[in-house]
Amino acid sequence: MASMDWYRVENEGEIPSPALLVYPERIIGNLQKMIEIAGDVDRLRPHVKTHKLPELIGMQLSLGISRFKCATIAEAEMVAGSGGTDILLAHQPVGPNVVRLRFLMDRYPKVRWATVVDNPKIVKNLGEVFSDAPRKLVVYVDLDCGMHRTGITPGDEARSLYESVVKAPGMEAGGIHAYDGHNHEPDLKKRTEQCDNDFVSVLNFKDDLESAGLTVPELVAGGTPTFPIHAKHPERICSPGTTTLWDFGYEDGLPDMDFECAAVLMTRVVSRLGENRVCFDLGHKAVGADKPSPRVRILGYESAETEVHSEEHLTMRLDKPGGLDVGDTCYGVPAHVCPTVALHDHAWVVQNGKAIGLWEIAARRRSLGV
């Protein structure tokens, strides 16, 4: 198969559209590149929210990656059930999720369970629930390093919070978690400067804690855009996510990171609207709608313009007339792969140009067993 048509499958007639396709060989290549950048598998804690796939956890375990980061209880349970032994719920548990996390520890007592906090009330709640747990819950203080979404500002309150974790029953301090998801600067030099500036307060806070005699075992830092920057600092644990599957949003926005797209959407033309306008069965129930249009790049028609994107339909004006008719199959790369994967019940697995089976997107659900 020609490299320019790497995404095409010979048995596409067997696949109902819209469909999500994944390419294990490309995924393995991306995982190997992640390890190469990090320099050591122990410095990687990949975020599973991108793929939510047990099979992909297995692929990472086979390469020596055993530490993972999650956004939901369901993702955490999926990782534990797939063999992960060190799982960080990087979403402060509130409400029933505190007890659900304890249930997971009881069900998987050999797993090193961890979470993040930015509020003393949650430290108190966790202490009450985990005081008699089979092992201590590892808790990281979540710092706001500029995104202003979650996390506590480095300073006296944050230090007091860290001290409360150290003293709380059923817990041990894991260190600091700091996510700089606001840094999407395309130019690597400028992105690095912004990252370094954002982390001045984080590193100063870490030094203050250690100067006060408090142990800070780890600094879990960053996501995908700043991954290669944090990777140059051996004391930091890196948490890229999108690097496993990639998408055209990061492909365009982060030109220094040469990962390969390993997830593609298959779609069909459901209506032809004149010489160069077509409608695909690729509504925003099948592709993440959190980004502005274009939300998908149709391969072979990369300059096509989105006219209307609704629940079940995507109308586009093609960049070249003709060539597509009703029923024709096309393939597209999403702008943002993470929410796109979460819209599909399963992914078709493509090897050697043929779809050979299905992987269930198990953790797209809010609840599995717990």
Global pTM value: 0.96
**Class for the domain spanning 3-21+262-364:** mainly beta
Return the number of other C-beta atoms located less than 10 Å from residue 179's C-beta: 25
Q: What is the distance between the terminal CA atoms of the chain, rounded to a whole angstrom?
A: 44
3 state SS for 208-260: HHHHCCCCCCEEEECCCCCHHHHCCCCCEEECCCHHHCCCHHHHHHCCCCCCC
pLDDT in tens, 203-246: 999 999 999 999 999 999 999 999 999 999 999 999 999 999 99
Question: Which tens digit of pLDDT belongs to each residue from 160-185?
Answer: 999 999 999 999 999 999 999 999 99
Q: Where in the chain is the domain with CATH 2.40.37.20?
A: 3-21+262-364
- Taking residues 318-332, what's their average pLDDT? 89
pLDDT at position 3: 63
Separation between Cα atoms, residue 178 and residue 151, nearest integer Å: 8
Q: Which of 78, 171, 160, 90 is nearest to 125 (CA)?
A: 171
- Per-residue confidence at 319, pLDDT binned at 50, 70, 90? confident
CB atoms near residue 48 (< 10 Å): 27
Mean pLDDT of the 321-342 span: 94
Q: Which residues in the chain are classed under CATH 3.20.20.10?
A: 24-247
Q: Is the pLDDT score of 1 beyond 50?
A: no
Stretch 130-138: mean pLDDT: 96
The CA distance from 93 to 194, in Å, is 30
Residue 2 is predicted with a pLDDT of 40
Residue with tokens 């020609």: 2
CATH class for the domain made up of 24-247? alpha beta
